[in-house]
């Protein structure tokens, strides 16, 4: 089914509300008619039938001299007319109101037989006549159609029409009120899909709309960060590959003219450096967000990590209690390995301490060195890809500038936190905070 052929939200709301109100109005009208209007109509018809029969009998018993006055008072007070002669141009009654049926039934019950009824046009007004017994003869008793008064069918139709109009107006207003933020969201999504940076949506209005706007703003921020990180990665890779490629080009030219083991070793070293850079970039782009968690014994993992890190056996001291928890072991090992390598590389040859402890919120694992440290103003900047510090932490001492960026991304993917602090007594403390999850939580 094509989107263009579907009903809009305004049309759907209008249709549903119209159907609902029409059904509701019909049920209310049926209940009022059955329990209120019909009993009242029967009672009113019975009272009018009694007045008509009583008027006919009273008129027949009055002296002829007083009958005109009685007819006048009857017409003035009760809108009833009496006459001895039948209607001039009688016609069968048009039973447009149930009230007349109730009236005829009451007249038949009071007179003990069927009553002849007719209608007549008098000066443009319709009259209803009934031939009733009066003494030894019969008397025509009538009243104009306007005497009936209430029009229940007309009232029902007018109520239905008003309900439909009000429903359409309410549906249009509600749909416009609901569609306004959705239209802004549609425009923002279209802009985001075209690679543009959309404006942030106002997080106001109904709770569902506010939550949806907040989620979109968060997603737009993530997309912007992703695009910015991709740009930085591409720029950094292209920049960092130029130096080894230039050396390789020069080494190849020299190898052609004068081969040597030293040049071959240089070429191999440049290739390894480029391979490490590409591997780091792929790790940063891929992450470990989908690695399943398994049971980790922290003392064993730290001991294996120290044993597998070159130069760590002599300089690293482990301080940890017997801690065990469920976590993605690969991501944890990669994070701690990067932090440990940084501490060993930039620790000025001083001992490095790996300290782990349990806290009220989870587990803290710290890699503590005695190097020159990092200025407070740059402790967040070093987590950006290809960001390098001057001095002992410059590119000349090794590293691609991606180690801490990989650490931050892997930690964020697992819901962990990584932060850098100044170590008391000098040096740097890199802390990994792992919140403990309830048993059975994913």
- For residues 88-99, give the mean pLDDT: 69
pLDDT in tens, 61-80: 999 899 999 999 999 999 89
Category of 426 on φ-ψ map: left (φ > 0), alpha (ψ -120 to 50) or beta: left
**Which one is predicted more confidently, 113 or 159?**
113
pLDDT in tens, 195-240: 677 778 888 777 877 888 888 888 887 777 666 666 666 666 666 6
**Residue ranges of domains in the chain, CATH in brackets:** 3-155 (3.30.450.300), 200-286 (1.10.287.130), 289-435 (3.30.565.10)
- The predicted pLDDT at position 442 comes to 42
98 neighbors 154 (Cβ within 8 angstroms): no
- For residues 401-410, give the mean pLDDT: 77
- For residues 246-272, give the mean pLDDT: 75
Which residues, at least 6 apart from 153, have a Cβ–Cβ distance to it below 8 Å?
Answer: 97
- The predicted pLDDT at position 401 comes to 67
Dihedral (C-alpha) 121, 127, 129, 135: value to the nearest 10 degrees?
Answer: -100
Which residues, at least 6 apart from 18, have a Cβ–Cβ distance to it below 8 Å?
Answer: 164, 167, 168, 171
Of 212-216, 250-254, 331-335, 411-415, which range is least confident? 250-254
- For residues 294-298, give the mean pLDDT: 91
- The predicted pLDDT at position 199 comes to 78
**Which one is predicted more confidently, 157 or 62?**
62
- Measured CA angle at 200 (ends 194, 202), to 5 deg: 135
pLDDT in tens, 345-372: 888 889 999 999 988 788 999 999 998 8
pTM exceeds 0.85 for this model: no
- The predicted pLDDT at position 228 comes to 67
- The predicted pLDDT at position 47 comes to 92
- Determine the angle formed by the axes of helices 38-61 and 67-78, rounding to 10 degrees: 170
pLDDT at 241 over 50: yes
């Amino acid at each position: 089914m094509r989107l263009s052929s579907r009903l809009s939200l305004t049309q759907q709301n209008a249709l549903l509300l119209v159907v609902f109100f029409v059904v509701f109005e019909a049920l209310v009208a049926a209940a009022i008619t059955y329990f209120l209007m019909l009993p009242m109509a029967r009672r009113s018809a019975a009272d009018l039938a009694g007045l008509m029969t009583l008027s006919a009998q009273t008129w027949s018993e009055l002296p002829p001299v007083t009958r005109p006055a009685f007819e006048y008072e009857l017409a003035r007070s009760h809108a009833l007319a009496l006459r001895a002669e039948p209607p001039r141009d009688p016609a069968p009654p048009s039973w447009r109101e149930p009230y007349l049926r109730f009236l005829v039934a009451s007249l038949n019950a009071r007179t003990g037989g069927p009553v002849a009824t007719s209608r007549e046009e008098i000066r443009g007004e319709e009259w209803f006549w009934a031939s009733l017994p009066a003494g030894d003869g019969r008397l025509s008793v009538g009243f104009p159609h306007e005497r009936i008064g209430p029009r229940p069918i007309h009232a029902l139709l007018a109520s239905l029409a008003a309900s439909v109009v009000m429903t359409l107006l309410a549906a249009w207003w509600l749909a416009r009120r609901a569609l306004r933020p959705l239209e802004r969201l549609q425009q923002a999504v279209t802009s985001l899909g075209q690679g543009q940076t959309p404006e942030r949506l106002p997080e106001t209005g109904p709770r569902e709309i506010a939550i949806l706007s907040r989620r979109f703003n968060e997603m737009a921020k993530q997309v912007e960060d992703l695009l910015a990180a991709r740009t930085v990665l591409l720029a950094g890779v292209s920049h960092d590959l130029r130096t080894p490629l230039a050396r390789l080009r020069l080494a190849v030219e020299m190898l052609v003219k004068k081969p040597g083991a030293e040049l071959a070793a240089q070429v191999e070293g440049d290739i390894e450096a480029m391979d490490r850079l590409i591997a780091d970039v792929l790790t940063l782009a891929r992450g470990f967000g989908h690695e399943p968690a398994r049971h980790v014994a922290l003392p064993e993992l730290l001991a294996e990590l120290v044993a597998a890190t070159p130069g760590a056996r002599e300089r690293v001291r482990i301080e940890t209690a017997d801690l065990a928890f469920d976590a993605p072991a690969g991501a944890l090992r990669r994070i701690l390995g990067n932090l440990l390598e940084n501490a060993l590389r930039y620790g000025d040859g001083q001992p490095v301490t790996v300290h782990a402890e349990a806290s009220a919120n989870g587990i803290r694992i710290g890699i503590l060195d005695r190097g020159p440290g990092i200025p407070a103003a740059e402790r967040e900047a070093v987590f950006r890809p290809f960001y390098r510090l001057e001095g002992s932490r410059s590119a000349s001492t090794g590293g691609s500038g991606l180690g801490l960026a990989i650490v931050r991304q892997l930690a964020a993917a697992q819901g962990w936190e990584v932060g850098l602090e100044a170590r008391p007594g000098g040096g740097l403390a890199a802390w990994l905070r792992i919140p403990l999850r309830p048993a059975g939580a994913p």
